Amino acid sequence: MNHSFQSVGSFGIVFLCILIVGITGCENPGSVGSGLSGPGGEVETDTLFLDGVESISTPSYSGAQNYYSAGQFDDPLFGNLLATGFVKPGLLAPNDTAKVMQENATMLMRIKLDNEQVYGDSTADQQFSIYEVKDLWRGRALKVNDDLAIDQNKKLGEFTVGFTDSLDVNLSGMAPDWVNRYRQYTDTTNADSTYKYGMSGLALVPENSNKIVPIDIQASSFVIQNPEADTFSVGSNQWGYTLQRDSDTSIPQGSTPFYSTYEQVLHFTDIGLSELDLSVTGLSRAEMIFRQNTSIMEQTLESASFRASRPQERTVYLHLANPANIPENIDPGAPLDNFARVQGVYLPSDGSYRFNITNMIGRILQEGFPKGKEFFVTFPNDGVIKPGLVYTDSDGVSPELKPKIIITSLKNQQ
């Protein structure tokens, strides 16, 4: 695999100090190459273009995250997305005798939304039907492309999400039999084990395609209103979502997508360090840059609705990982304080994703490239559906937009 690079040098050692301060900012003082000084050196900047950047599929877990998504939106660029939300209320604590669900209690499903991360038209009405889930499932084992069976012959109720950050769905009013079954488990000895198999929760199925809403699990709850006792709430026992995305996407040549769902993540195998005469003692800073195709993303969104939007993730991760063990070794639980996992940032000012990979490059220069490891770029997988589209190294892409690594180093003169 060929990598091209460019060199700019011979500035003098005095300028080196100014350069390091200007581009490293608040970089950790322990970064490789920081604080270099000495007579007779020159500053050199090398640009390595990343060849072979591609999107690969590795669908990840979609349950037990900070959010779960529900809704539908027809994205002209990334396809028609249909997210079915799943949630199961928890039981009352067996030792909390002050909280009792009376026979004629009202049960509400209280939904809290994050309108800043709505996918689609946040002002439009999104309609949902509620069904009972038939399959046994666990949030921590649920994957985004799973297919959970629901009882579509018996709709429990329906509700609409408009431009709001919260709403209460009266389950007692629309599904009294289901609520009564739940109440009986709250009075049962060893209820946890019987409840696990006796009820599988609710499916929130979208009925139109205006938007996908992220539901904040920590702020949401099931509210029990007793007519002759205190009102209280219980949290969720299980939660998650599944996603269907049709194949009718319109990804332009020279760009490739990646998603927070890990349906597609960025992947490449080599960064071309062998083409440089670079030592760890001379390394000052290394930055990896991907440019987002903002023009295409904006143009296609305008064709859908002038009020539609896509959630823009500001955090991004670079992983150096064994491809045989993904997605587990690149999921949110993977350790961050590791040279093989670097947190980057999205800069709206120039539409770039940037990673300070100085420590990573320094370790590779010291120890060699880790055997069996490859590079992956992901968004955080927090239950909110977010897309990205970056330029690749294709021939039709201009050099300033291609993915690259910029390395600044000190070369000592003899």
Whether the per-residue pLDDT at 3 is higher than 60: the answer is: no
In this structure, of 61-70, 230-239, 322-331, the range with the lowest mean pLDDT score is 322-331
Task: Return the amino acid letter for 374.
Answer: E
What contacts 378, CB < 8 A, 6 or more positions away?
A: 258, 260, 262, 265, 266, 316, 317, 319, 330
In this structure, the strands spanning 352-356 and 283-291 are antiparallel
Q: What is the pLDDT of residues 260-296, one digit of tens each?
A: 999 999 999 989 888 787 877 889 999 999 999 999 9
In this structure, of 29-43, 127-141, 339-353, the range with the lowest mean pLDDT score is 29-43
- What pLDDT was estimated at residue 34? 38
What does DSSP assign to residue 273? G
Distance CA(73)–CA(213), nearest Å, equals 10
Asked whether the beta carbons of 161 and 213 are under 8 A apart, the reply is yes
- What pLDDT was estimated at residue 299? 92
Q: Is the pTM of this model over 0.85?
A: yes
Q: Could you tell me the pLDDT band of residue 349, with boundaries at 50, 70 and 90?
A: very high
130: left (phi over 0), alpha (psi -120 to 50) or beta: beta
Q: What is the dihedral of CA 187, 189, 192, 194, to 10 degrees?
A: -90
Whether the per-residue pLDDT at 406 is higher than 60: the answer is: yes
Q: Where in 198-314 does DSSP place strands (E)?
A: 202-206, 210-216, 221-225, 232-234, 236-245, 255-259, 265-268, 283-291, 308-309
Over range 74-85, report the average pLDDT: 96
Higher-scoring residue by pLDDT: 20, 409: 409
Token code pair at residue 4: 């091209």
- What pLDDT was estimated at residue 340? 85
Q: Cα 413 from chain centroid?
A: 46
Whether the per-residue pLDDT at 21 is higher than 50: the answer is: no
- What pLDDT was estimated at residue 339? 76
- What pLDDT was estimated at residue 96? 73
Asked whether the beta carbons of 262 and 381 are under 8 A apart, the reply is yes
What contacts 242, CB < 8 A, 6 or more positions away?
A: 62, 83, 84, 86, 142, 143, 144, 145, 146, 147, 148
234: left (phi over 0), alpha (psi -120 to 50) or beta: beta
Whether the per-residue pLDDT at 35 is higher than 60: the answer is: no
Q: Cα 34 from chain centroid?
A: 32
Closest residue by Cα to residue 121 from 68, 73, 80, 67: 73
Is 335 exposed, middle or buried (CB count within 10 Å of its CB: 0-12, 13-18, 19+)?
A: exposed
Task: Encode 87-103: b = buried (16+ Cβ within 10 Å), e = exposed.
Answer: bbbebbeeeeeebbbee
Asked whether the beta carbons of 69 and 83 are under 8 A apart, the reply is yes
Whether the per-residue pLDDT at 249 is higher than 80: the answer is: no
Token code pair at residue 183: 């109440």
Over range 92-117, report the average pLDDT: 89
